[in-house]
Chain A
């Protein structure tokens, strides 16, 4: 009886570990999706309300604890302080977001390219740049989601299999 309970515990806990690792792989597509929706909101703020950048970034960042919220808020604070240009502020915010998120260097480069002309062109060009970065992020998100699904499935199975193997060895 004790052996059966032990075996269930071993298989169950390895399965949970496998699931936790698998969930880590779905972080990147989730964060990319957050960024895409934040850029869509930013597009509305710029095209419809012509809201100044620091305010537009705060409004479109969404929840403060999501990666887009943190990044947009940081850029907004630096721009509002007036010490750095919007491009420099954006670069600092992207660097920070990159260090605390699951984003890859490819995602970072896409975001940095957007910052180069930030705040220094007319609304038509600004919107064009938003569309461009969103398109790049959307492609990355689709790839990341596909990759995450495959890897996550593998980790889930691997967790259960390793649990079963340990049980067999101990039995």
Chain B
């Protein structure tokens, strides 16, 4: 089912082309030997020192046979390969607990935290990796665009809400692309889109060039803290729509208010199970009290990642559309 979508690159090809070069040679051949149909379902690879490598496919676990035990040397090599042999270039990312690799795949890290003046200064003895495979799906937002377009040239201020791994970023990326390129059947012309891409996941920039299809009128501020990034974009690129991922800090809320009050549409994502849950989050509370968002999209895994459970009017909480959309 997953590969029927015409805009989707098969996961197996993503793993072979983009993920395997970041793994130690022994593990590369172990994973490459797995059947293609199994690899096609993988969305996460879990590496833990001195434990077997596990590939996650939905809720199923795939363990190569015989098991590949991930040694501490493997962990060192993996870290070097992920960081392109330049750990200094990813200092801030390591401090946050993840590195985004070429292709927009996020590698979560665990190890021993080093504190300096009570704040995390870095991670050392890195012993666990969680490689999340990012999949670009051109057309993922086809079913929702009609509810987000505010004629003639605007989008509603929208918050996409879901627990992790439900396809928030994939949907957000395609909304950015469609807003930027235009949606002819909705008579929506392409508008200027600015992406504040703090973790390089939306546009997956490599040396400043987006690796994903994010639209011809899209400007990407890569690896910039989103609160500052949103304001910088407004000042420097005069976007019609600002896109950002995973809001949740106080400063994000302040920046979002700035954006919305500057006459710019905002589309963002947040972790949560429902609109009420997100509205209760301390840092985001003020946005809902001020009725800043106009639309809320609730995603789930019910029919696979990217299932839209409901589209709500974020101010009243009433459903505009309910029932799974894909």
Contact = CB atoms under 8 A, between A and B. Distances in A.
Interface in B76-97: 77, 80-81, 83-89, 91
Given A85-B77, A120-B80, A51 B87 contact: no
Contact of A121 (B25, B84, B88): B88
Contacts, number: 52
B81 A82 contact: yes
B77 A53 contact: no
Contact of A50 (B77, B80, B81, B89): B89
Contacts of A83: 25
Contacts of B85: 52-54, 79, 85-86, 89, 118-119
Query: What band does the interface of chain B fall in when counting residues whose beta carbon is under 8 Å from A?
Result: 10 to 19
Given A82-B21, A85-B80, A121 B87 contact: yes
Interface string A38-76: 000000001000111111100000000000000000000
B71 interface: no
B122 A86 contact: no
Given A82-B21, A85-B77, A122-B122, A54 B84 contact: yes
B88 A122 contact: yes
A135 B304 CA distance: 59
B80 A56 contact: no
A120 B94 CA distance: 12
A121 B25 CA distance: 23
A70 B320 CA distance: 64
Interface string B36-72: 0000000000000000000000000000000000000
A79 to B, nearest CB: 5
Given A82-B21, A122-B122, A123-B91, A56 B86 contact: yes
Interface of A: 46, 50-56, 79, 82-83, 85-86, 89, 118-123, 126
30 contacts: A46-B88, A50-B88, A51-B86, A51-B89, A52-B85, A53-B84, A53-B85, A53-B89, A54-B85, A55-B207, A56-B86, A79-B85, A82-B81, A83-B25, A85-B80, A86-B80, A86-B85, A86-B86, A119-B83, A119-B85, A119-B87, A119-B88, A120-B80, A120-B87, A121-B87, A121-B88, A122-B87, A122-B88, A123-B89, A126-B88
